[in-house]
Amino acid sequence: MNQSVEIELHTSFEKIIAQMSKYQGEYIVIPAAFKSKELGVDWGDFHYRNIERLKLITSFIFEISPLVLLKNSRCNSGIAYTHAALADLLRQVVEPAEIRCAKSKYLAYQEYLEDGQYVLTNTKNIHLRENEIILKKFSPQMVWVVYQIIKE
């Protein structure tokens, strides 16, 4: 059996979720660590909220891009930036006065450059500056869940 597969990347999971009816019969891959401040859901909420719209097909484990926690030694704002799914991991290492969650790890780094004291992001996003200290590195694996969007 010879199957053709086309992978379409989206700017956010929130956009896909908002337009799921447009993708009926197609597949969606979601990380088990999915968490959206915008929608107020995590993966468990998403799974059960869409139990009649999604068919769970399979899951797999895949190493994701390495993460790094940086500290800006010239900033005392007490503000830390990251993605919502990583906020608890950040709290395990530092206790900032405020954690601001961005829609992506890339955007978290961009916002950190403005007024952040800390950022937890992908290593590929950073351009280490002389005033920054690497507090911790992570090489996480992730469980990914494959669903088929049920035709209505």
The predicted-structure confidence for 81-118, as pLDDT tens digits, reads as follows: 999 999 999 999 999 999 999 989 999 999 999 999 99
Q: What local confidence, expressed as pLDDT, does residue 80 receive?
A: 98
Q: Do residues 144 and 33 lie in contact, with contact meaning Cβ atoms separated by under 8 Å?
A: no
Phi, psi of 111 (to 5 degrees): -70, -40
The predicted-structure confidence for 42-56, as pLDDT tens digits, reads as follows: 999 999 999 999 999
In the chain, % of residues over pLDDT 90: 79
Tell which CATH architecture fits domain 67-138. Answer: 3-Layer(aba) Sandwich (3.40)
Domain ranges of the chain: 13-63+141-149, 67-138
Return d(Cα 32, Cα 144) in angstroms, integer.
6
Q: Do residues 23 and 1 lie in contact, with contact meaning Cβ atoms separated by under 8 Å?
A: no
Q: What local confidence, expressed as pLDDT, does residue 151 receive?
A: 82
Return d(Cα 83, Cα 35) in angstroms, integer.
9
Phi, psi of 144 (to 5 degrees): -110, 140
Q: Do residues 17 and 147 lie in contact, with contact meaning Cβ atoms separated by under 8 Å?
A: no
Which residues, in sequence order, are CB contacts of 3 under 8 Å at separation 6+?
A: none
